């Protein structure tokens, strides 16, 4: 399948690059599969006009000791891609939940209004669009879930 999108490139209020007032034309049939990644890889570093995500990063100090700091992350920027990830559910409300795969990188997931979020979830796998949300001046990891079938519970 091929897609033609026409509109104005801009950065939305959450710091994500997008095509505003887009018209989309589909050519052919088919679908894409999600790219699997761990929570630490979601979002990625800055690329072009898309700012990078902030997260907990490890580095060696001047004495060769490992340190942890909250800072811009490095890595391939994947904002806008369809992804698959997994983890332990650490927070749940009506249309959001947070998962942690053990890396210490908590990832917020948001759902459409027709998706049911179950407070009894313990471990889940999700498929969604890698995105970001602006908190202060920082961009944080976010996954936009598309539909109920994109959430699999592993209780």
Tally of domains within the chain: 1
Asked whether residue 23 is assigned to any structural domain, the reply reads no
Range of the domain at 148: 33-153
User: Who's near 118: CB < 8 A, 6+ residues apart?
Assistant: 92, 153
Arithmetic mean of pLDDT over the chain:
95
Whole-prediction pTM: 0.91
Q: How far apart are the first and last CA of the chain?
A: 36
Burial of 72 (0-12, 13-18, 19+ CB in 10 A): middle
What's the CATH code of the domain at 52? 2.40.50
Going by pLDDT thresholds of 50, 70 and 90, the confidence category of residue 120 is very high
Asked whether residue 118 is assigned to any structural domain, the reply reads yes
Kindly tell me the sign of the dihedral angle through the C-alpha atoms of 17, 21, 25, 29. positive
Across 120-124, average pLDDT = 96
């Amino acid at each position: 399948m091929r897609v033609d999108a026409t509109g104005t490139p801009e950065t939305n209020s959450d710091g994500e690059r997008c095509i505003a007032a887009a018209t989309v034309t589909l050519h052919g049939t088919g679908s894409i599969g999600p790219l699997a990644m761990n929570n630490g890889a979601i979002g990625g570093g800055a690329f072009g006009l898309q700012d990078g995500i902030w997260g907990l990063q490890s580095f060696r100090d001047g004495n060769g000791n490992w340190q942890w700091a909250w800072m811009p992350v490095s890595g391939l920027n994947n904002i806008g891609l369809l992804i698959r990830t997994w983890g332990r559910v650490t927070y749940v409300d009506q249309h959001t939940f947070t998962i942690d795969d053990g890396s210490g990188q908590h990832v917020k997931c948001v759902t459409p209004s027709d998706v049911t979020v179950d407070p009894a979830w313990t471990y889940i796998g999700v498929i969604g669009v890698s995105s970001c949300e602006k908190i202060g001046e920082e961009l944080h990891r976010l996954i936009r879930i598309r539909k109920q079938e994109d959430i699999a519970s592993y209780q």
